[in-house]
């Protein structure tokens, strides 16, 4: 049972640093809490109103008291043990709601102080922040995460400064073929979800076949992968996955060291689909095949062609530059 206690003026109910499991309500009188500002050490004084709780956080969390509670005039308080307090708030949701609000404000404030101190002040505008995260995911080839974030950006900020850009990137990503690095299943599953919105079951089956093939590729089973991609093309069911499979077949030829086949296949692909989303990658594989065959002149021609087409920060640009640097070093 909660107990009523009386305190004489100027007496202390508890000191800062005490560890105790008692919670109080001020019933009558005047009561002062004094604590130290954790940043400056300055004393903070807070008067408690009648009917207000104190000592809640430290008692519930079993932490040392943050503050000293001193009565200014003769006062009456009601003392609760933690279980008693819990019973009270469980039966009175208004109290719990009010406390949640107070705690939430405190949490927000201290969080902000910490952020200020470590210098990662999050005063960044949320639209700008969201955009930067989308860009981070895109640059790191985390396609499904990037897509999610661009979509969110467009949902919240359809008129935002980056909206046009986000739309066009999103369109590109939707036709994006997962590369070896993100065929670990995750991206594949999400892409399936996205495309399945309007798909029929036949298309779903093709998609499943396609992702099975992609996973064969990622396990270095290139002969099997090649067969599986060819099957999708021969079945001629779903244009989207046919185009993707054509590209993947070219990659299989390269991995199988069938460089002539790779060059022939990728060249044919470029002619057939001049707007293929992986056009630059196709050219890269052609360049690589020539290089493997010892024809560095032709290889270089393809590489420089890619650099002319691609933007500075695209992954393919970085790859091409690296290869070119290596070639130059080799030439010396």
| Interacting residues with other proteins (CB under 8 A) | 38-39, 41, 56-57, 60-61, 63, 66, 86, 89-91, 93, 96-97, 99-101, 103-108, 110-111, 113-114, 117-120, 122, 124, 126-127, 129-130, 132-133, 136, 140, 144-145, 148-149, 152, 156, 186, 189-190
CB 40, min distance to other proteins, A: 9
CB 155, min distance to other proteins, A: 9
Alpha-carbon distance of 201 to 160, in angstroms, equals 37
Residue ranges in the chain assigned as alpha helix (H): 56-61, 82-90, 93-117, 126-139, 143-156, 163-174, 186-195, 201-218, 222-235, 239-255, 259-272, 279-292, 296-309, 315-331
Cβ nearer to other proteins, comparing 143 with 245: 143
Bridge-based pairing of strands 75-81 and 3-7 is: antiparallel
Cβ nearer to other proteins, comparing 128 with 260: 128
CB 79, min distance to other proteins, A: 19
Alpha-carbon distance of 304 to 155, in angstroms, equals 39
CB 38, min distance to other proteins, A: 5
Cβ nearer to other proteins, comparing 99 with 327: 99
Q: Annotate 151-166 with three-state secondary structure.
A: HHHHHHCCCCCCHHHH
φ, ψ of residue 312 to 5 degrees: the values are -55, -40
Cβ nearer to other proteins, comparing 162 with 265: 162
Are 11 and 70 within 8 A, CB to CB?
yes
CB 149, min distance to other proteins, A: 5
Cβ nearer to other proteins, comparing 7 with 150: 150
């Amino acid at each position: 049972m909660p107990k009523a206690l009386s305190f004489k003026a100027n007496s202390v109910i508890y000191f800062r640093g005490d560890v105790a499991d008692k919670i109080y309500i001020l019933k009558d009188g005047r009561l002062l809490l004094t604590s130290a500002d954790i940043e400056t050490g300055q004393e903070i004084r807070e008067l408690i109103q009648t009917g207000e709780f104190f000592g809640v956080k430290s008692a519930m969390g079993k932490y040392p008291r943050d503050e000293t509670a001193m009565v200014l005039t003769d006062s009456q308080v009601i003392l609760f043990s933690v279980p008693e307090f819990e019973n009270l708030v469980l039966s009175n949701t208004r109290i719990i709601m009010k406390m949640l609000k107070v705690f939430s404000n405190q949490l927000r404030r201290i969080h902000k102080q910490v952020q200020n101190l470590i210098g990662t002040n999050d005063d960044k505008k949320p639209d700008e922040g969201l955009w930067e995260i989308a860009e981070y995911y895109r640059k790191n080839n985390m396609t499904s995460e990037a897509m999610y974030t661009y979509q969110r950006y467009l949902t919240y900020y359809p008129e935002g400064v980056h909206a046009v850009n986000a739309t066009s990137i999103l369109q590109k990503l939707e036709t994006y073929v997962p590369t070896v690095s993100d065929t670990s299943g995750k991206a594949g599953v999400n892409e399936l979800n996205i495309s399945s919105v309007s798909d029929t079951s036949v298309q779903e089956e093709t998609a499943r076949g396609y992702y099975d093939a992609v996973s064969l590729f990622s396990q270095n089973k290139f002969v099997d992968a090649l067969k599986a991609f060819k099957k999708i093309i021969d079945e001629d069911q779903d244009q989207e996955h046919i185009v993707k499979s054509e590209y993947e077949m070219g990659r299989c030829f390269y991995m199988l060291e069938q460089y002539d086949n790779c060059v022939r296949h990728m060249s044919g692909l470029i002619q057939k689909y001049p707007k293929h989303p992986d056009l630059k990658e196709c050219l890269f594989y052609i360049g690589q095949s020539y290089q493997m065959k010892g024809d560095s002149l032709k290889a270089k021609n393809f590489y420089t062609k890619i650099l002319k087409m691609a933007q500075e920060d695209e992954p393919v640009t970085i790859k091409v530059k690296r290869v070119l640097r290596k070639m130059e070093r080799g030439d010396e």
